[in-house]
Amino acid sequence: MGSESVKVVVRCRPLNDREKALSCKMVLSMDLQRCQCFIEKPGAVDEPPKQFTFDGTYYIDQETEQMYNEIAYPLVEVRIQRDNFAYGQTGSGKSFTMQGVSEPATQKGVIPRAFEHIFENIQCAENTKFLVRASYLEIYNEEIRDLLGSDTKQRLELKEHPERGVYVRDLSMHTVHSVGECERIIEKGWRNRAVGYTLMNKDSSRSHSIFTIHLESCSTDSSGQDHLWAGKLNLVDLAGSERQSKTGATGERLREATKINLSLSALGNVISALVDGRSRYIPYRDSKLTRLLQDSLGGNTRTLMIACLSPADNNYEESLSTLRYANRAKSIQNRPRINEDPKDALLREYQEEIKKLRALLTGQLSTADLSTLLAGQFSESSPAVPSRPQSTPTEEKKEKIKEEYEERLSKLQAEYNAEQESKAKLQEDIAALRSSYESKLSSLEKAQASRGSSVPKNGNRTPCANNRTKLFCRWILPIG
């Protein structure tokens, strides 16, 4: 699976009571059709508004339901790691977007909608078993805490594993079976999260939080073979960037704001290094937040970033900074892949390529698709073949292309058939081995019975039981 960019959308909330009391004017506007956002500098009459284009724009009268259906739904639908996170200044509506409210139903947040979406898919799946687990943590003053643990103030450590990647040691995992259980867990974690009062927000989040849903499934195909895959969905609610002059933060609140701004600055540096393309070193280790989001930024995930904005003129600098931040994130390239059994992945890739080649041979591919396919194939298997122009190939070139692809098709088909034959032979060997073992065991029991001995029911070993063990080891162990 190829690389794809991080998807970025922006959402603008209405003016709040504080901004209305200050008689603030709106400096933010959007073109919803072109997904463009415009911001005007207060007092600069002759200066044209700054323009930004994103994957989606949502203005003050648009609801969370519409945003989820258009942007988040396709990400939750696929079977790979997904990450949704909200970014913006304090009081811009990040927690409202992620958590939402129960009434009206159209303003239910991204997190509860993801719960409903996942369990709807589980109920519709046939011949498939699922295991769903959840974890909830926060990063407060650069310390990781388990919001669902017995001691929510305990400091947890970050570790790194060659296969698992970066993870939190001793983070509690909770098995869930329904939407209701997920909602109860997140409500419990939300009550344990660090919040505080500032002049800009009476319930300001003083920590970054990450709610993770771990999903594993085992499906059975028509031939009775089991196929395993695993994925996870990270739902991240970042604390807002702050200016002490506006929030009036002092003492402990000021220390919290300093840690928040430092981690968000580290996140910005990571984004800049990823977008730059020339940086050999990506500063993931500068903060706990960037280490935990390492897969989300340039890793094995599909990522959606929701940038939340205030439309008020007194927040112009913060809103402009958020827009620039989000605009840089658009250029990050991730390489998502399905986390499944390697043999299943190989067979699936063969089948997909065979399907493409058959479509090519029957003339179902367009010229653009043909050029893309050729560019990918010749770069891997035939480096000496020069790249072809985008124009329509001649009849002679078409015949040559067909011959090359027929040869590759037959090779892939032969590899696929060999794999299937190997599986069938293995099943036959196992069946023959089981039959031989049962035959030997039956003969041994008959011989033992003819000598008048029997196997006691109390479980003590007899010569017959020892012979069985030896026979079992002789026939079964060579398989491994």
Residue 71 is classified by DSSP as I
Q: Within 10 A of 173 (CB to CB), how many other CB atoms are there?
A: 10
Does the annotation place 94 within a ligand binding site?
yes
286/323 same-domain check: yes
The total number of residues written for the chain in this structure: 480
Residue 69 is classified by DSSP as I
pTM of the model: 0.65
Q: What is the domain count for the chain?
A: 2
13/34 same-domain check: yes
Q: What CATH number is associated with residue 161?
A: 3.40.850.10
305/374 same-domain check: no
Does the annotation place 92 within a ligand binding site?
yes
25/131 same-domain check: yes
Residue 68 is classified by DSSP as I
Does the annotation place 88 within a ligand binding site?
yes
Does the annotation place 250 within a ligand binding site?
no
Does the annotation place 392 within a ligand binding site?
no
Which residue, among 177, 222, 195, has the nearest Cα to 90 in the 3D structure?
Answer: 195
Tokens 């903060």 -> residue? 287
Tokens 């709106």 -> residue? 26
The three-state secondary structure class of 322 is: helix
Residue 402 is classified by DSSP as H
20/78 same-domain check: yes
Please tell me the distance from the alpha carbon of residue 14 to that of residue 472, in angstroms, as a whole number. Answer: 74
How, if at all, do strands 82-87 and 7-12 pair? unpaired
Does the annotation place 93 within a ligand binding site?
yes
Please tell me the distance from the alpha carbon of residue 33 to that of residue 75, in angstroms, as a whole number. Answer: 22
- Domain that includes residue 181, residue range: 4-339
Q: Within 10 A of 332 (CB to CB), how many other CB atoms are there?
A: 21
Tokens of 412: 């892939």
470/393 same-domain check: yes
Does the annotation place 62 within a ligand binding site?
no
Does the annotation place 43 within a ligand binding site?
no
323/348 same-domain check: no
Tokens of 386: 């020069």
Among candidate residues 288, 322, 339, the one where a domain is terminated? 339
Task: Note down pLDDT in tens along the chain; length 480 residues.
Answer: 456 778 899 999 999 888 899 899 999 999 999 999 999 999 888 889 999 999 999 999 899 999 988 888 877 765 545 667 777 777 788 888 888 888 888 888 888 898 898 898 888 887 788 899 999 999 988 899 999 988 888 999 999 888 778 899 999 999 999 999 998 998 898 888 877 656 565 566 788 889 998 888 888 777 777 777 778 888 888 887 767 666 666 777 788 888 888 988 888 888 888 877 677 788 888 899 999 888 777 666 778 889 999 999 988 988 998 999 888 888 887 665 555 555 555 666 667 777 777 776 666 555 556 566 555 554 444 444 444 444 444 666 667 777 777 787 788 778 778 877 877 887 787 778 778 777 777 777 777 777 654 444 444 444 444 554 444 344 343 333
